[in-house]
Amino acid sequence: MAKMRAIDAAVRILEMEGISCAFGVPGAAINPFYSALKARGKIRHILARHVEGASHMAEGYTRARAGNIGLCIGTSGPAGTDMITGLYSASADSIPILCITGQAPRAKLDKEDFQAVDIESIARPVTKWSTTVMEPALVPMVFQKAFHIMKSGRPGPVLIDLPIDVQMAEINFDEDTYFPLEPYKPKATRKQAEKAIEMLNEAERPLIVAGGGIINADASELLVELAETTGVPVIPTLMGWGTIPDDHPLMAGMAGLQTSHRYGNATYLKSDFVFGIGNRWANRHTGSIEKYIAGRKFIHVDIEPTQIGRVFAPDYGIVSDAKVALEQFVAVAKEWKKAGKLKDRREWADECEHRKTHMLRKSHFDQVPLKPQRVYEEMNEEFDRDTCYVTTIGLSQIAGAQFLHVYNPRNWINCGQAGPLGWTLPAALGVRAALPEKKIVALSGDYDFQFMIEELAVGAQHKLPYLHIVVNNSYLGLIRQAQRGFEMDFEVSLAFENINVDADGDAIPGYGVDHVAVAEALGCKAVRVKSPNEFKEAFAKAQALMDEHKVPVVMEFILERVTNIAMGVEVDSVNEFEDVLCLDASLTLESGWVSMRHEDDGTGEKPDAPSD
C-alpha cells in the first residue's frame, strides 16, 4: 500500500488495463493528469489539434485491433463538449473508448466558474457511463468500473470527469493487488443453437446477415466456418464488411439502400429466411420494415437484450456474444452435417454466385473530369488484399462500398450510425497508431476532408503515414443528390474562384480550396490526379513520398461535379443513374433483379439507357 496522488493511481490503472497510447489536448484543469503521464513515461501521447479529433483518433485506435481501448483526454469545459460527437459515434457503433476530462475544483462546480460545465450530464445520453468523481479515494474503483462497463455486454464509451482537486489529493493505493474485472458477456445455450439450426435447415433460400458485432467479438473465422458448414450465403452489413472475404463463393454481396450491391439486393429479395448475427437492422440496410421482412422468417442474435425486437420482432431471438453464439452454431451444424441432416444448399448458393458475377455496375469510364467509379476501379487494382480502408459518410463512402473490395475483418473501418463529417482523417491517424505496419487508405469527399483538415499536422508531427484519397467534386455531394427530391441545388456547392490559384498552374480554377497546397502547408505531401492516364504514375509517386517522408500523403482526384450514385428508398427500387452491366438476360425483375430507373442526373438532362 502506497500513498500517492489519486491521478498517479489512475495512470497506473490505465497501464494495468492495457492502455499504451492516448490522444488528447492538455489544459489547466487536466495538467495534473499530464504530470502523471510524464512521470510514468509508459503511455504514448499523440497531441491532437482539436479535441473532437482526439476522440475520433481514439475510435480509430479501438476499431483497428481486437482488444484495443482508445483513450482521449481533454481539459474542462469545451474540451468535454468537443468530445460529444466522438462519444456519440462510438456509442452508436458499440465501440469502447475512454474519455477523461479535467474539471473545476469541487467547491466551484455550482458557481459558474471558468470552463466549469456539467459534462457528466451532457455526456450521459451518448455513453454507457458518465461520472464526475467527487471523492479522491474512489478514483481507483471508478477506473476499474469504467473498463468493466466498456467491455461488458454491448461495448461502448465511458467518460470520467476529474475535478482538479480530486486529481491532486493523496490516497492510499496498492497497485500490486489491483486486477481488472472480468467483463460480462451473455452466452447462447446449446438448446438455443439447436433451435436456430433447425429453423435455418427448414428454409429453402436462407441467408446469414453478418453484422459488426461479429467483428467486435473477433469471430469472423467462425462466421465463415458456419457458412461453409451449412452452405448458406452471407450478406454482410456495412459494419460487418470483411467478416467473409469478398471473393468467397458464399459472400453474396451487401444489401440495402445505399452501400449495397445490385446482386446483394437481388439475392436478398429472393430469400425466405434471414439469420441475423451481431447486426441491428439499420434503416440504410432495411429500408421500410414492411418490405424488408415480407415473406421471410428471421432469427436475431445480439449481445444486447433490448436490441431483440427493437426494430421488428424476429421469429426467434437469442441474446449472446457473437463469438460464443457462433461456436455453438458451428458445433451443432457440424454434428447435423455429419449425421446427414443438413440440406444441400449448392443450387441456392450457385444461383447467388451467378448473380454476383453477372449483375455489376459499370466502373470503367475514361472521361475528364473523372467519374468517381473509375477512381475505385483503380484503387482495386492498386491496393492489395490486406489494405485497411477508413471512411465516414457521403457519396465517397457510398460509392466506395459499392465498388471497392474488402477481404478481412477490420479492413473496412467506418463509422456507421452517426456518420460525422471530419471523422475520416483523425480516425485514420488512430488506426495508424494502432497498426504501424499496415497499409492504410482513407477515403473522403472534399467536405469531409475539410472538416478536420488541421489534423494532418498531427500525422506530420508524429510520423503517422497513411494514404488519404480525396475525391473532389467541390460539392456536398450526398446532400446535393438528396436535394433533387426538392428540385433544388441550394447551399451545397463548395466551388469558388480561389484568388490564390493560378489558372496556368496545377490547381483547378473554380474548384475552390487547393487541397494540395493546404496539405503541404500542414507538413504533409500531396498529389493531384486529373485524368485516367495519370493514375499509375500518381499512385507510385504517392507511395514513394510516404516511404521517404513518413507523413500522410493526400491524393486528390478531380471529379466531374455531378455524378449521382446508385441508391433508393427501398431494397427493390434502387435508382442506378449510371450504366450497369447485366451479363445474363435471364436476370429480370421477376427473377430477383433490382429495378433500375434512369432519372435526371442533376444536370437537367436524361442520361442514355445502359448500353452494356
What is the mean pLDDT of the segment spanning 38-61?
A: 96
- Cell readout for 184 is 460480462
Before 552, cis peptide (omega within 30)? no
164, 421, 435, 559: the active-site residue = 421
Q: Average pLDDT of 162-183?
A: 95
And the C-alpha cell for 197?
A: 439450426
Query: Which stretches of 306-452 are assigned E, i.e. beta strand?
Result: 316-319, 359-361, 388-391, 412-414, 440-445
pLDDT digits (tens, 9 = 90+) for 365-417: 999 999 999 999 999 999 999 999 999 988 999 999 999 999 999 999 999 88
Q: Which three cell numbers mark 313?
A: 420482432
Residue entry with cell 497498426? 435
> Which of 25, 73, 164, 235 is flagged as catalytic?
25
- Stretch 267-290: mean pLDDT, rounded? 95
SS (H, E, C) 568-611: ECCCCCEECCCCEEECCCCCCHHHCCCCCCCCCCCCCCCCCCCC
- What pairs with residue 297 in β-bridges? 273
Active-site annotation holds for 479: yes
Q: Which amino acid is at 262?
A: R
**Best CA proximity match to 456, nearest among 441, 444, 446, 466:** 466
CA dist 213 to 154, 223, 320, 574, Å?
9, 11, 10, 27
Rounded Cα distance, 338 and 330, in Å: 12
Q: What is the pLDDT of residue 586?
A: 63
pLDDT at 609 over 70: no
Instruction: Quote the DSSP letter at residue 463.
Output: T
Q: How large is the average pLDDT for residues 37-62?
A: 97
Higher per-residue pLDDT: 80 or 505: 80
Q: Is it the case that residue 599 has pLDDT exceeding 70?
A: no
**pLDDT at res. 591:** 43
Helix (H) or strand (E) holding 567: strand 567-568
Among the listed residues 204, 206, 252, the one whose alpha carbon sits nearest the alpha carbon of residue 352: 252
Q: Note the pLDDT of residue 480.
A: 87
**Per-residue confidence (pLDDT) for residue 510, from 0 to 100:** 83
Residue 596 has pLDDT above 50, yes or no: no
Task: Give the per-residue pLDDT at 590.
Answer: 41
pLDDT band for 584, please (50, 70, 90 cuts).
low
pLDDT at 260 over 80: yes
Helices (H), 209-339: 212-216, 220-230, 262-270, 283-286, 289-293, 322-338
CA distance 578 to 599: 9
Residue ranges and CATH numbers for the domains of the chain are 2-177 (3.40.50.970), 190-360 (3.40.50.1220), 362-558 (3.40.50.970)
3-state SS assignment for residue 542? helix
Q: What is the pLDDT of residues 331-363, one digit of tens each?
A: 999 999 999 999 999 999 999 999 999 999 999
* Range scoring the smallest mean pLDDT among 109-118, 450-459, 554-563: 109-118
The residue type of 392 is T
Q: Tell me which of 158 and 599 has the higher pLDDT.
A: 158
Residue 608 has pLDDT above 50, yes or no: no
303 CB-near residues (< 8 Å, 6+ apart):
153, 154, 185, 186, 213, 217, 278, 319, 320, 321, 322
25 is catalytic: yes
**What burial class does residue 499 get, using C-beta atoms within 10 Å of its C-beta: 0-12 exposed, 13-18 middle, 19+ buried?**
exposed
User: For 44, phi and psi rounded to 5 degrees?
Assistant: -65, 140
Q: What is the mean pLDDT of residues 151-157?
A: 96
Q: Of the residues 43, 138, 479, 492, which is catalytic?
A: 479
Q: How far apart are CA 86 and CA 509, in angstroms?
A: 35
Q: Cell numbers 512521470 correspond to what residue? A: 39
Query: Which one from 13, 51, 226, 342 is the annotated catalytic residue?
Result: 51
Residue 156's pLDDT is 96
Catalytic residue among 69, 398, 476, 516: 476
What was the pLDDT predicted at 334? 97
Q: What is the pLDDT of residues 467-516, one digit of tens each?
A: 999 999 988 888 888 889 898 989 888 888 888 876 556 778 888 899 99
* Strand 359-361 relative to strand 580-582, pairing: antiparallel
Residue 611 binned pLDDT confidence (cut-offs 50, 70, 90): very low
- The answer to whether the CB of 535 falls within 8 A of the CB of 363 is no
Of 415, 333, 342, 286, nearest to 300 (Cα)? 286
Per-residue confidence band for 583, with pLDDT thresholds at 50, 70 and 90: low
Which run of H or E residues covers position 235?
strand 234-236
Tell me what pLDDT residue 604 has. Answer: 39
pLDDT of amino acid 585: 59
- Listed residue (589, 208, 246, 577) closest to 411, CA to CA: 246
Residues 6 or more apart in contact with residue 543 via CB below 8 angstroms? 467, 553
Q: Place 86 in a pLDDT band, splitting at 50, 70 and 90.
A: very high
* 527 secondary structure, DSSP code: E
The residue among 430, 146, 189, 514 whose CA lies nearest residue 327 is 189
Phi-psi region of 329 (alpha: psi -120 to 50; beta: other; left: phi over 0): alpha
Band of the pLDDT at 419, cuts 50, 70, 90?
confident
Q: What is the mean pLDDT of residues 214-237?
A: 97
- Residue 460 makes CB contacts below 8 A (sequence gap 6+) with 522, 523, 524, 551, 552
pLDDT band at 601 (very low <50, low <70, confident <90, very high): very low
Q: What pLDDT is attached to residue 588?
A: 52
The pLDDT of residue 607 is 37
Whether residue 142 has pLDDT greater than 70: yes
Mean pLDDT of 242-265: 95
Q: Determine the average pLDDT of the residues in 251-267.
A: 94
Whether 51 is catalytic = yes
pLDDT in tens, 301-327: 999 999 999 999 999 999 999 999 999
Nine cell digits for residue 381: 487494382
Query: 598 vs 203, which has greater pLDDT?
Result: 203
Mean pLDDT of 430-451: 95
Please give the pLDDT value at position 582. 66
In contact, 465 and 553? CB cutoff 8 Å:
yes
Q: Region 599-604: what's the mean pLDDT?
A: 42
41 pLDDT band, cuts 50/70/90, is very high
